[in-house]
Structure formats: C-alpha cells, structure tokens
C-alpha cells in the first residue's frame, strides 16, 4: 500500500456528497483520464456500475458542478474534473494499483549493474520515471549536506599542470586538471594534501567549499604561501566539480503529446521553467520534509506555469536521511493509480542504490 500525504482540497467535505454522487464523480474522473474528452451524461449512463437513469445523472452532475468539483470547458454537455474534483478523487476514491514483482525487478535493473557515479544513478532514475510514464521525470541531486569529503591528492603533470583528485562519500572519485603559474615539487603537493585531509576529512563538502572560499590562511597561521597556492588549486577543482544543475529532468518533450498542454504559449512557459529549473527545484524542495508520496494538482503548486500540470513526488534517503526528491510532471489528466506506486518504488530503489554506493568497500 502506498502511503500518501496530500493537501486539503477546499471547503467541500465528504459529508456533502452521498454514495451516488461519489460513484458518479469517480466514474467521470476515470473516464476523462482514460479518454481525454469531456464526459457527458450519455456516456456515464452506459456505465453499469452506476445503475442511474440519464435524468438522475444530469441532476447529480449539476450538483457536482455547483460544488466546484466538475465544470464544462465548452458549451457542450460534457464535463471535466476541476482541481478540487481531482483532489477529492485522489484523496478518497482512487484505487492504487500495486506494482508486480517483475516490474520492480525491471525498475531495479534500470539503474544499471554498476553505475559510475551519483550523477549517472540520478540520471537513470529520471529516465526511468520518464520512460515508464511517458511524461517528464525529475530528480534532485542529493543535498550537499549529505556529501562528505574523504580525502584529496595532488599529482604534478607536465607543462605546469596539476591533477587534483578528491574523494567524497569514501569512494566517489572526482578529478580536475589545474593549470598553474609555476612548477610544484611533489613534497609541496603532499604537504598541502596532508594538511587538507587532516582538517576536512569526514566534513560535509558544502562546509569544505565554504572554508576554502573564505581562505584558510586567515585562520591557520601554519599555511605558508606555497601551501596556500596548492589550497587554491583544491578550491578551484572543487568548485569546478560543483554541479551547475540541482536536478535532472528527462522526457520534457513527452508533454508535447498531450493536447491540454500543447498550446504554444503554455509549452514555452513549461520549457522555460524546465530550462531555468528554479521553480521546479523550489517546488520539489517543499517535499523534502514529507514522508510518502505528495501530489500537487494544477494551481496547488503556486506556479502559474504548472496550472495545467500535476506533480507526483516522493523523497529519497541515504542512510535514513532524506537528501532529495524525485517525481513525475504531467497533465492533471494522468493515470494516478499507476504513477503513484511507480514514483514510490523508484524513490525506495534509488535510496537503496545510493546507500550501497555511499557505503565503504569491505
């Protein structure tokens, strides 16, 4: 069973609706998600599960419209769910479909047998979310607080170049070639490496970056000019390796296939948001402190560009600490019963893979 935590869905209470109204709303939402066209009373009257006359269906639909749960996008008799209608459906009427063991195995295999680094793992998760749902998959990179500095080494190369190698989370290797103003002796490089390792081993990489940015020579008198030059190399290498992207998005073009999102102005706004990423990251960050699956429907996101979209998210953890969020962005008319468990399972699998990656080799 997927554990879901959602936002409230307005002033409508379940007590305002009888069983007949709830059944009809459920049928209308499911048919609209499946068919993508406004649903009329004639279509619903053919649903044997409802067992209602066309006249009764029209009256119930009028009541649901008065409550703000459905509306007519055109002058036709067809109706579609509102954000409040989707919210009631998801919170109270949705039947989530469990994922088969074979599907879980396929998802696990999708991460790769031996991913090279965290960025590859995150990228694979984003692609799987996109490929399975045919929508946009998004995964935030682990927060810097969860990345720890292990050790650093410097290797002198020809032509006044130095290879800077540093390790995070005990086995994640990063390297950069730095061009220097002079040739450095191996002893100078080793001295600086020994010093940096003694000061920073086991500390969050974000704290290491901050300390290097401020300049260690102000607080540590034992750093001479030559060592400071090597420390500056470490600062340059670590900042070059700092990811410019805080999240990885895959399958954005899939959204072009949904008629409700295909308006050119709407698509331009979405692709601008995906390109700049600020609003996407801010929205995902709001899910960091929540357990289970969270869903934003339309204007619930607080960003106008996502008014026609839904975002299904779940946080993922490393060593029982929440470090990031993943999710699927698509139209409000999505198959929530399939997307919700897939997002939930992907988050758990991602955390499991990253836990193995961050564990020291035996």
Q: Where does the chain hold its CATH 3.30.390.60 domain(s)?
A: 145-241
Question: 112 pLDDT band (50/70/90 cuts)?
Answer: low
Q: What is the pLDDT of residue 114?
A: 59
What value does the mean pLDDT take over residues 218-228? 60
Q: What is the pLDDT of residue 240?
A: 63
| Domain formed by 145-241, architecture | 2-Layer Sandwich (3.30)
- Mean pLDDT for the chain overall: 83
Whether residue 331 has pLDDT greater than 80: yes
Q: Where does the chain hold its CATH 3.30.450.40 domain(s)?
A: 101-141+245-358
Q: Any idea which of 5-14, 129-138, 336-345 has the lowest mean pLDDT? A: 5-14
> DSSP of 122-148, one letter per residue?
HHHHHHHHHHHHTSEEEEEPPPGGG-B
Per residue in 28-81, pLDDT (tens digit) is: 999 999 998 999 888 898 876 778 888 889 999 999 999 999 999 876 668 999
Report the 10 Å Cβ neighbour count for 143.
18
Q: What is the pLDDT of residue 226?
A: 66
Per residue in 282-326, pLDDT (tens digit) is: 888 888 877 789 999 999 998 899 999 999 999 998 888 888 999
Question: 250 pLDDT band (50/70/90 cuts)?
Answer: very high
What value does the mean pLDDT take over residues 327-334? 96
Per residue in 169-198, pLDDT (tens digit) is: 766 788 888 888 888 888 888 988 898 899
What value does the mean pLDDT take over residues 102-107? 82
Separation of alpha carbons 290 and 6, rounded Å: 10
Whether residue 109 has pLDDT greater than 60: yes
Per residue in 208-222, pLDDT (tens digit) is: 877 887 765 444 545
Per residue in 231-246, pLDDT (tens digit) is: 888 888 877 655 545 8
Q: What is the pLDDT of residue 75?
A: 65
Q: SS3 of 28, please?
A: helix
**101-141+245-358 adopts what CATH topology?**
Beta-Lactamase (3.30.450)
Separation of alpha carbons 123 and 138, rounded Å: 9
Tabulate helix, strand, coil % of the chain (nearest 5): 50, 20, 30
The pTM is what? 0.73
Whether residue 7 has pLDDT greater than 70: no
Q: What is the CATH number of domain 14-93?
A: 1.10.10.10
Instruction: List Cβ<8 Å contacts ≥24 apart for 45-52.
Output: 49/23, 50/23, 50/24, 52/20, 52/24
Whether residue 9 has pLDDT greater than 50: no
| Tokens at 207, concatenated | 């704290």
**Do the Cβ atoms of 233 and 162 come closer than 8 Å?**
yes
Question: 5 pLDDT band (50/70/90 cuts)?
Answer: very low
Q: Where does the chain hold its CATH 1.10.10.10 domain(s)?
A: 14-93
């Amino acid at each position: 069973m997927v554990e879901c935590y959602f936002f409230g869905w307005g002033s409508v209470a379940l007590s305002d609706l009888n069983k007949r109204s709830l059944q009809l709303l459920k049928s209308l939402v499911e048919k609209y998600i499946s068919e993508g066209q406004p649903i009329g009373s004639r279509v619903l009257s053919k649903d044997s599960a409802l067992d209602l006359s066309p006249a009764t269906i029209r009256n119930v639909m009028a009541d649901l419209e008065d409550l703000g749960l459905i509306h007519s996008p055109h002058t036709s008799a067809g109706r579609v769910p509102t954000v409040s209608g989707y919210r009631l459906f998801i919170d109270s009427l949705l039947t989530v479909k469990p994922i088969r063991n074979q599907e879980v195995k396929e998802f696990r295999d999708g991460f790769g047998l031996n991913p090279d680094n965290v960025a590859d793992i995150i990228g694979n998760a984003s692609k799987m979310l996109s490929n399975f749902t045919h929508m946009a998959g998004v995964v935030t990179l682990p927060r810097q607080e969860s990345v720890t500095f292990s050790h650093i080494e410097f290797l002198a190369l020809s032509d006044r170049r130095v290879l800077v190698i540093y390790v995070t989370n005990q086995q994640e290797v990063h390297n950069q070639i730095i061009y220097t103003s002079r040739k450095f002796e191996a002893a100078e490089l080793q001295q600086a490496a020994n010093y940096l390792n003694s000061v920073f081993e086991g500390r969050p990489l974000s704290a290491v970056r901050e300390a290097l940015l401020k300049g260690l020579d102000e607080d540590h008198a034992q750093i001479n000019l030559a060592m400071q030059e090597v420390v500056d190399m470490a600062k340059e290498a670590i900042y070059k390796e700092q990811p410019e992207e805080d999240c990885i998005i895959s399958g954005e073009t899939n959204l072009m296939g949904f008629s409700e999102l295909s308006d050119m102005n709407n698509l331009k706004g979405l692709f601008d948001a995906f390109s700049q990423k600020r609003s996407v990251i801010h929205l995902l960050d709001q899910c960091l402190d929540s357990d289970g699956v969270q869903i934003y429907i339309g204007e619930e996101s607080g960003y106008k560009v996502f008014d026609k979209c839904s975002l299904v998210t779940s946080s993922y953890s490393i060593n029982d600490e929440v470090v990031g969020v993943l999710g699927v962005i698509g139209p409000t008319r999505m198959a929530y019963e399939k997307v919700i468990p897939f997002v939930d399972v992907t988050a758990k699998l991602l955390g499991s893979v990253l836990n193995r990656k961050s564990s020291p080799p035996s």
